[in-house]
Structure 1
Amino acid sequence: MRAMMCEKFGVAPVMRTVDDPQAGPGQVVIDIYACGVNFADTLIIAGKYQQQPDIPFIPGFEIAGVVASVGEGVDAAVIGQRVMAMVANGGFAEKIALDAGRIIPIPDGVAFTDAAAFQITYGTSWFALKYRANVRAGEVVLVHGAAGGVGVTAVECAKVLGANVIATAGGPEKCEIARQHGADFVIDYKTENITDTVKDICQRHGWKAGVNVVYDPVGGDVFNQSLRCVAPGARLLVIGFASGDVPQIPANILLVKNIAVLGFYFGAYLDQNPDIARDGMSELLHNLAVGHITPSVSRQFALDDVSQAFSALRDRSATSKMVVLCREDAQ
C-alpha cells in the first residue's frame, strides 16, 4: 500500500510503498477513504506532540473507510461496513489495522469526508464545553480561532448547548465563516482589541460581568486578553497553542476573580473517562444525524499532497477543516 511516512522529526513525510497491514486477533483492516488533517499532525511530525511515536511512523489521527478484513475473534459480518475511528497514528495511508472496538459505524447519508472531518474537532469542542467546562444555557462563551478546524465546531457546539457566542477570527473572510456557523457576535482581532470589544458587547447586551467561558486553541496574547474580560467564576479552556506561544498564567488574576483554567487534551480525556466518552460520542452522532451540527470541509487534498495541508495549518491560512483523500474514489 501507499503511505506518507515520517522518517525523521522535523522533516516532511514522504510517500512510501509498504506492506499491507494484516488483522491480528481482535482487529480489523480498514481501507481508508479519507483522513482528517489536524494542527496536532504538524506537532507530531515536528517532534513536539504530547505523545511521540517511534520513528518511522505514518501520521494521521482520524480516519473513515470500509472494513476490508477481520482477525480472529471478530465477526465477519462487519466486512464492508462504513466506519470511522480515531487512531494514535497511521491515517495518511491506504489501509490500517486497528482494534475492532475502536471503530464506529458511519451514519447513513454521511460522506467519508465528513466522517473524517468530524471526530476530533467536534469531539474536542463537545467534550470540552459540555463535560469539562459545564456550559449552561444562557451563558456567554468566547471562542477564539473561530474560523479554524476546532473553532468552527466550538461555535456550533456552544450554540447547541444554548450559549451566547462571541467569536474572534482574523480578517473579514474568516469572520464571516464564524458568523455563518452561528456566532452571535464576531470580532476581527486584526483590527479590534479583543478585551475592549468583548467588554463593550457584554455591556450592551446585559452581560455586565463579562464572559462565562473562554475556548482558547490559540494561546499567547489571546489568552492574556481573555483574562481581562471574563466574569467572576469564569472557566478558561486551554485547547492548544496555535500561536506557538504558551501563556504564563498570572495566578493573582485567577485568585481575585475566582477563575478556573481548565486544560483539555481530548485523547487522554477519552481514555480517562470511557463512560463519558461513549455517552458524548452518541450525543454527537445524534446531533450530526439531525443536522444540529454540520462538518465543514474547506479543502481536500490527495494523499500525495499532505504536506500542502500541513503548510496551510502552519501559516494559518486554513479555514474550517481540511481532509486528505486516501483513495481516488473517496467522497
Structure 2
Amino acid sequence: MKAVVIEDFGAPSQATLQDLPMPEPGAGQLLIAVEAAPVNFVDSLVFTGKYQFLPERPFTPGKGPAGKIVAIGEGVEGFEVGQRVLAMAEHGGYAEAALVPAKDAYVLPENVSSEDAGVLSLAFDTAWTALFEQGRMQPGDTVLVLGATGAVGNAAMQLAKIKGAKVLAAVSSPDRADEVKRYGADAIVDLSQPNLRDSLREQVYAQTGGRGADVVIDPLGGDIFDAALRAVAWRGRVVVVGFAAGRIPTIKANYLMLKNIEVSGLQVSDYRKRRPDILDAAFREILALASEGRILPGPRKTYALAEFATALDDLLERRARGRVLLVPNGAVD
C-alpha cells in the first residue's frame, strides 16, 4: 500500500510517499481502506514536530480517517468486514489503508458517505465538546463563532443553531455573509472593520442589546481573541480551540474577575483518552443529525494521496473553500 511517511520533522514536502507492506490488525484494532482523510491545520504541527502528541518516527500522519473495514483484530466485537466507519485515530490516515483503534471507530449510517464523514471528522467533535462541555451552552444563549468559515467554525454554527442559540459568525469580509448564514448564522461580525478592538464589541453589543456573547468559540487567537474577550457577557464562557491566526494571546486575570467570565482551553484528543464516554455521546448525536439531514457536512476539495503537501498548503493559505480531504482510493476534484 502507499502511505505518506515522516522520517524527519520539517516542511510537509520533506515527507515521502512510500510503498509499505499491508499491515495486519492487532488486538483491539481495525484495518480500514481509507476513503477520505481530512487535512487539518494541526497536521502542519505534526509534520514540523510541534504537536504535543507525536509517535516515534517514522510514522504516517493523518487524524480521523473514514473508510471501509477490511480486517478485524482479535477481541474486537460489534464490527463487520465491509462496514464503513469514521475512525478517530491520532495518526495513520494519510495512506491507502490504516490501522485504527476499534474503541475510537464509529459505524457510519448508510446515507452518510465516507467523504461526508471526513468533513465531520475532528471538526464536529471539537465543536460539540467546546459548545456543550466546556462552554455549557444553553438554548437562548448567544454564541459568537470566530473563524466561522473554517471547519470547526462551520460545525460550531450548525450545532449551536440546532440547540437553540443565537449565532453570530465572525468573518473576514461581509462577502462571506451568505455563506455562513446558510450554515446557521443569524448575523455576522465583520472582522475587516477598522479598530477591531472596539468594532468587534460594538457589533456584538448591537446584536445583543448591549449584553454580549454568552459563549465564544475561538480557533484563531491573536488580536481577534483580544477583541472578542471584550465582547463577552457577564458570566460568559470563552473556549480556546486553536491559534490559526498565529499569535498565542495572553490574558490579564483581573479582567476575568471583573466580568465574572471564564476562559478555558480544549484539546479534544485528551477527551478521547480521558473521557471516551463524552466523545461517544458526541459522535452518536453528530452522526444521527447527519443521517437526518439536520447538519450539512458542507463543501470539500479532494486531493489524491500524492498531493498531500499541496493539500495542506492550500488549506493553510486559504486557497481551498470548505474542507480539504485526501481520497487515497477514490476520484478527486
> What's the TM-score, normalizing by structure 2?
0.93
Residue 317 of structure 1 is matched in structure 2 by 319
Cα pair 2:167 2:186 within 8 Å, conserved: yes
Q: Distance in 2 between matches of 1:192 and 1:130?
A: 33
Out of 119, 122, 136, the residue aligned to residue 121 of structure 2 is: 119
Structure 1, residues 208-267: CA drift from partner, whole Å, max 9, x if none? Answer: 221111110000101100111111111110010001110011112111111100111111
**Residues 1:8 and 2:13 aligned together:** no
Q: Which amino acid aligns with 2:318?
A: R
Given that residues 201 and 231 in structure 2 are in contact (C-alpha distance below 8 angstroms), is that contact kept between their aligned partners in structure 1?
yes
Which structure 2 residues correspond to residues 110-259 of structure 1 after superposition, within 5 A?
110-191=112-193, 193-259=195-261
Per the alignment, residue 81 of structure 2 pairs with 79
Give the aligned partner of residue 267 of structure 1: 269
Report which stretch shifted further, 32-41 or 282-291.
282-291
Indicate how the Cα distance of structure 1 residues 75 and 281 shifts in structure 2: closer, same or farther if over 3 A, else same.
closer
SS at match of 1:165: strand
Classify 1:46/1:94 alpha carbon distance in 2 versus 1 (closer, same or farther; 3 Å).
same
Specify the alignment match of 2:65 in structure 1: 63
- How much does 1:88 deviate? 1.2
* Structure 2 gaps, min length 5: none
Give the CA deviation at 1:28: 2.1
Q: Give, as a single letter, the amino acid of the residue that structure 2 aligns with 1:245.
A: R
Does the CA contact (< 8 Å) of 1:58 and 1:89 recur in 2? yes
Letter in 1 for 2:213: V
Runs of 5+ unmatched residues, structure 1: none
2-structure distance, mates of 1:192, 1:180? 26
CA contact (8 A) 1:166 1:187 kept: yes
> Which amino acid is the alignment partner of residue 16 of structure 2?
V
The 3 A distance-change label for structure 1 pair 87 and 167 is: same
Contact 1:124/1:150, CA 8 A, preserved across alignment:
yes
- Return the alpha-carbon distance in structure 2 between the equivalents of residues 75 and 130 of structure 1: 30
Q: Aligned with 2:133: secondary structure?
A: helix
Instruction: Tell me the secondary structure at the aligned position of residue 62 of structure 1.
Output: coil
1:20 to 10, 13, 22: 22
Counterpart for residue 106 of structure 2? 104
Render the CA deviation track for 1:180-214: whole Å, top value 9, x for unaligned. Answer: 21111112312355554444445444532211111
Q: Deviations over 1:32-77 (max 9, x none)?
A: 1111111111111111112122222111001111111123334597
SS at match of 1:236: strand
Contact 1:130–1:161 (Cα < 8 Å) also in 2: no
Amino acid aligned to 1:40:
V
Contact 1:30 1:95 in 2 (8 A): yes
Q: 1 CA distance for matches of 2:220 and 2:318?
A: 11
Change (3 A) 1:270 1:86: same
Pairwise CA RMSD = 2.0
Name the count of aligned residue pairs.
331
Name the stretch that deviates more: 114-123 or 204-213.
204-213
Instruction: Tell me if the contact between 2:147 and 2:220 (Cα under 8 Å) persists in the aligned partners.
Output: yes
Greater alpha carbon shift after TM alignment, 187-196 vs 312-321? 187-196
TM superposition shift of 1:154 = 0.9
Runs of 4+ in 1 over 6 A off after TM superposition: none
Measured against aligned partners, the alpha-carbon deviations of 1:149-176 in whole angstroms (never above 9, x if no partner) come to: 1111111111112111111122345443
Q: Does the 8 Å CA contact 1:152/1:320 hold for their aligned counterparts? A: no
Q: Percent identity?
A: 35
User: Which letter maps to 1:265?
Assistant: Q
Greater CA drift, 10-19 or 235-244: 10-19
Q: Give the whole-Å Cα distance in 1 for the aligned partners of 2:19 and 2:94.
A: 12
